[in-house]
A and B are shown apart, each in its own frame.
Chain A
Amino acid sequence: METLVQEHSMTIGLSGNPNCGKTTMFNALTGSHQHVGNWPGVTVVTKMGHARVGSGATSQEVDIVDLPGTYSLTAYSEEEKAARNFLINTRPAAVIDVMNADALERNLYLAVQILELGVPLVLALNMMDEVRKHGKDIDTALLTKLTGCPAIETVARSGKGKQELLDAAFLLAKDRNGRWDPLVISYGPDLDPVLAEMEAIITKAGELVGQVPPRWVGIKILEGDESIINRCREANPEVAARLEALVAKVSEHLGRTLRASPDAIIADYRYGYITGIARQVVRYPKVDAERIRLSDRMDQVLTHQLAGPLVMALVIYLVYILTFKAGALPMEMVQDAFAWLGKTAEAAMPDGLLRSLVVSGVIAGVGGVLGFVPLIMIMFFLISALEDSGYVARMAYMLDRVFRIFGLHGTSVLPFIVAGGIAGGCAVPGVMATRALRSPKEKLATLLVTPFMTCGAKVPVFLMLAAAFFPGSEAGVMSLVTLTAWVAALLVAKLLRSTVVKGESTPFVMELPPYRMPTLSGLCIHTWERSWDYMRKAGTTILAISVLLWAAMTFPGLPADRATAFDAREAAVQEQIDAAKAQGQEASALEEALKQVGADRSEEALKASAAGRAGVALESVSHLAGFNWRVNIALVGGLAAKEVIVSTLGTAYSLGEIDTEDAEPLSRLMAADPSFPRSAALALIIFVILYAPCSVTIVTMARESSWKWAVFAMTFNTSLAFVAAVAVFQTARLFS
């Protein structure tokens, strides 16, 4: 991931709660000139863009940084840490807090915490259209007076107020000129004296945690903020110990007298301060408390005990159908274009290694990556629409009870479906869809098991095997495969969550934002951002992997004597053809024979390649699961892309080039192969469901989590697959 750097002398941060329209505001302010990347030292993805502020000769470009959406500035989640570290380390000239003015009190909770840090703050009262619609009135001038922050009314969707907002932030930044001006709130008779004492100690000790107000450090320590406490301990253990002793004493006192912890008291007073402001600022001229909002009425149907799940099933089905139906044509076009490119290159270049590299390695590899782009774009467009409309939160709400059993989150359903929860999806957009999950542990577990689903590239493998070994019951086999994939994904998720991704489930406390119509520009920006990210980064790595696998299946090639022998056989048959043609006879049988020699040669060349030798060598282990060397090579090839499994099997069974979509000749051959019984076919089906994801998925998994977890998925899934395949093969053999 790209590391973001400051490009202009002035940086303005954009903070806010989730679902407050912050991203829409960011898009409105910066247009399409955005970079996605990591801010130094922060793992959470942030976005940076530019905007022009001021007018005439004094106007200038400023950096606008979109901070992760958070409700608070504690350090419990990665998002909160990222937002806070940005404020402390980068010290932006000003911060714009985008607030859902319709829920002013809760949104002020974050604003007040930023103010306690002292950062120059502008309040964007966003969604003012909804405020008015709900019969409320906000006294903006009074809010400015009470908080000391410029407050600007905005409607991010239409861009209303965005220029005033920028101007206000610019003016404030100029005026404050880097000076922080912390807000001081009283935390009551128990905590205020302790805070004053702590403040004195911290001031005397000098900087413990960067350039932040001493009182703020005190508040954080009282709140039990591990990250700040640790930084203090590192900076000055002696002072940290004194501060912690003070906190321990007051905590004990509070526990005894009020049965409350300091952080609860702090929150209490903070809310008290906010309620005081909100009571004066928000008025309800048309008191209409009983009126049920449209959004709530929609929820009565959309989250209804019976209708809710039905509608959700329909929505999931539609996302799936739209993605893969609408994506089929452009995907085919991209694939055809690359096929054409491959043919053209094949015709234009002389036979040899370079041609093989260009055609089978580079063009096939890049084509394999770009072929997914139409699917990814459509899928992200639809998922962004579901997210922006507020429906994803409802899905999580309805499904949470089921997924929680397996240590997952309600939102996990989305990646599963996209990856092939309904047979025919694709694990790549599936893995990327895990971004919708806000809880890190659940996200990781979902990401690791998502590739078990029956993606479109695995389907031909199952169909071919079903046709060969279970003729007539292909549909039954496919259904069972899909079901097995789900059961495996959920059980393995449970296993992972109780071992390597152990830990309490993340609290579900989650906002159900009112339903809103997504904006087209927002959806397009999301879609483009995510697709481009995929194309650019995955393309380079996958190209390398593709070339590597090409080399493994090409080198060292046939030994010279075998190559000469094949040349001789080909020449002999060719001679016979020429002789027959000279006599005006039909030579189709001979031409078939020539093709067969070519196919035999490919088979032997494949067996002689590095991958082939690996396949043969693996037989000593893989015979436990009933796999012969042909199957082994195909499975190795499947690491590049699952489509390769069927075509490699074709080559290994001396069929020459075969059509993946119509693998009937292969089915017949495999069914007739005495070294590959039906029990082995069953084991192969299980193995293909479970084993390592394809290279594109692996790279995507690494990008969504880390290489550590991607490598884990590769080795763990393959081991699991092998154990399961051996179990199935040995059991099935007993019964046959």
Chain B
Amino acid sequence: MNNCITLRQAQVNQKLRICSVGAQGELGRRIRDMGLMPGVEVTVVGKAPLRDPVALRLRDFTLTLRNSEADHIVVELVEG
């Protein structure tokens, strides 16, 4: 768990794997509904012109979320 960072800190085009989702309640539910679950691989594919929100690429689709929401998601870098 040493190389774990929050999703907000991730750079564009880094390959990441979700370690945990800390959000509760509605936000947590919405994050899970969209398939952001521990173990899922994601890539930050872009940031909005004001660096917030961010666009995330999952294997089959792209979604966006705000930095304040990304704070609840802990990710680790995937090598290669």
Contacts and interface: CB of A to CB of B under 8 A. Distances in A.
A398 B66 CA distance: 11
Nearest to B55: A512
B24 A261 contact: yes
Contacts, number: 115
A397 B60 CA distance: 19
A511 B60 contact: no
A400 B61 contact: no
Interface in A380-415: 393, 397-398, 400-402, 404
A508 B64 contact: yes
Interface in A661-717: none
Interface in B11-50: 21, 24, 26-38, 45-50
A393 B34 CA distance: 16
A267 interface: yes
A64 B50 CA distance: 44
Interface in A91-140: 100, 102-106, 109
A566 interface: no
A263 interface: yes
A271 interface: yes
Nearest to B60: A103
Contacts of B49: 303, 305-306, 308-309, 398, 401
A interface, over-half SS: helix
B53 A76 contact: no
Contacts of A508: 53, 64-66, 69
A76 B63 contact: no
A397 B64 contact: yes
A306 B49 CA distance: 7
Contact of B28 (A263, A306, A401): A263
Given A401-B50, A512-B63, A106 B69 contact: no
Contacts of A296: 45, 57, 62
Nearest to B47: A305
Contacts of A104: 60
A295 to B, nearest CB: 8
Interface of B: 21, 24, 26-38, 45-53, 55, 57-58, 60-66, 69
12 contacts: A76-B30, A102-B60, A106-B60, A267-B29, A267-B37, A303-B48, A397-B48, A401-B50, A508-B65, A510-B63, A511-B61, A512-B63
Given A268-B38, A296-B57, 15 more contacts: A102-B60, A103-B61, A263-B32, A306-B49, A397-B53, A397-B55, A397-B64, A401-B53, A402-B50, A508-B53, A509-B27, A509-B69, A510-B63, A511-B64, A512-B55
